[in-house]
Structure 1
Amino acid sequence: MDKIRIQEFIVVEGKDDTNAILRAVEADTIETGGSALNASTIETIRLAQQRRGVIIFTDPDHPGERIRSLIHEQVPGCKHAFIDIKRAKSKGKVGVEHADPEAIQDALQSVHTIAIAPVDEVWTIHHLMRAGLASGAGSAERRSRMGELLKLGSCNGKQFLKRCNQFGITVDEFEQALRTVHKEEEEQHG
């Protein structure tokens, strides 16, 4: 089976991430060298964004989110790929390098671009609370599953809310994912 060719450069944290990406797809990567993001790397990412586009694909942990945020602030218009923490875990470690090729392909097929124009729906903490995704028993697990279904990655309530707004998640998308979560919970407690 032929690998999918990704046009955009994929920004990852290190060499092991590049190797994992190349097992899954054909692509060019830019390695940040971990959280020590320097001006030269930012310039390389900026040029890549101008020429072919960029997909930021960092680890689903705090340092990965920090790198993602720094790049996003300095190089607008990048796409974002998120991998669920459960699919990026091996032997107690978390990272893109621990994901299997299928998980990487799924993440790259579900990239998001931050909405530049205002979106119709603006999500607030009240929406999350009514949906049982903030403050309450099981909210973190529900939010994690919603993040997986909406391809937003695992995140805390504040990050989840921000991503729903940034990526223009619609009411229909949100409600469909929430129905799936509720159905799964019913089946578990059946």
Structure 2
Amino acid sequence: MIIKEIIVVEGKDDTVAIKRAVNADTIETNGSAVNQQTIEKIRLAQEVRGVIIFTDPDYPGERIRHIVSEAVPGCKHAFLPKTEAIAKKGKGLGVEHASIEAIREALRSVQQEMEELVTEISFQDLVDAGLIGGSQAKERREKLGLLLKIGYTNGKQLHKRLKMFKISQAAFAEALKEVIQGDYQK
């Protein structure tokens, strides 16, 4: 599998894991303190080949995703479920611990960030669906993020990502239906 875009990752171990799974070039941020020089490299990469942000499914990874996304609009995003990013011995979470197939699946399911933030789904729709507030909200958001391939978010970020990736009302409703059916099957 060849990836034409340049993949933004956190570090060297992530680059090694990506290169085991696909033929691609990477830019490493070397942690969550993304410097201006790295941002400039990512801007150039976006202009020339396009960029896929592929960070760990944890707080520092989301922070890097946010910093890069704000500085370089129009990036694509690959999301790895936490369950696919856990180290074999349970110590550590990240892209470097994912299987080759999990990395390939995340890259096949890349989401395109849209500069114009528009969605038919309101914040109130998320509240009404039990995705914000309530005892099952976090679990429902996790499942919805997996189904829509937009990663896990808090309530506010969920609304932003639904807009950013232009998730349609129909796609949202279908995924939500599956999440709610899963709740009843427990």
Q: Normalised by the shorter chain, which TM-score bucket?
A: over 0.9
Q: CA deviation at 1:117?
A: 3.6
- 1:132 partner SS: coil
Task: Out of 6-15 and 98-107, give the one that drifted further.
Answer: 98-107
Percent sequence identity over matched residues?
54
Q: CA deviation at 1:62?
A: 1.2
Q: Which amino acid aligns with 1:126?
A: Q
TM-score under structure 2 length normalisation: 0.93
Q: Which amino acid aligns with 2:93?
A: V
Q: Which amino acid aligns with 2:105?
A: D
- Correspondence for 1:68: 65
CA RMSD of aligned residues (A): 1.4
- Correspondence for 2:161: 163
- Correspondence for 2:113: 114
Pair 1:86-2:101 in alignment: no
CA distance in structure 2 between the partners assigned to 1:137 and 1:35 by the alignment: 31
CA distance in structure 1 between the partners assigned to 2:79 and 2:45 by the alignment: 20
The alignment covers a number of residue pairs equal to 184
CA distance in structure 1 between the partners assigned to 2:108 and 2:116 by the alignment: 23
Show structure 1 runs of 4+ deviating over 4 A.
none
Instruction: Provide Cα deviations, 1:159-178, integer angstroms capped at 9, x if missing partner.
Output: 11110111111011001111
Q: Which amino acid aligns with 2:28?
A: E
Structure 2 contact 84–102 (Cα < 8 Å) conserved: yes
- Correspondence for 2:19: 22
- 1:71 partner SS: helix
Q: Which amino acid aligns with 2:51?
A: V
- Correspondence for 1:53: 50
Q: Extract unaligned runs of 5+ from structure 2.
A: none
TM-score under structure 1 length normalisation: 0.91
Task: Out of 139-148 and 94-103, give the one that drifted further.
Answer: 94-103
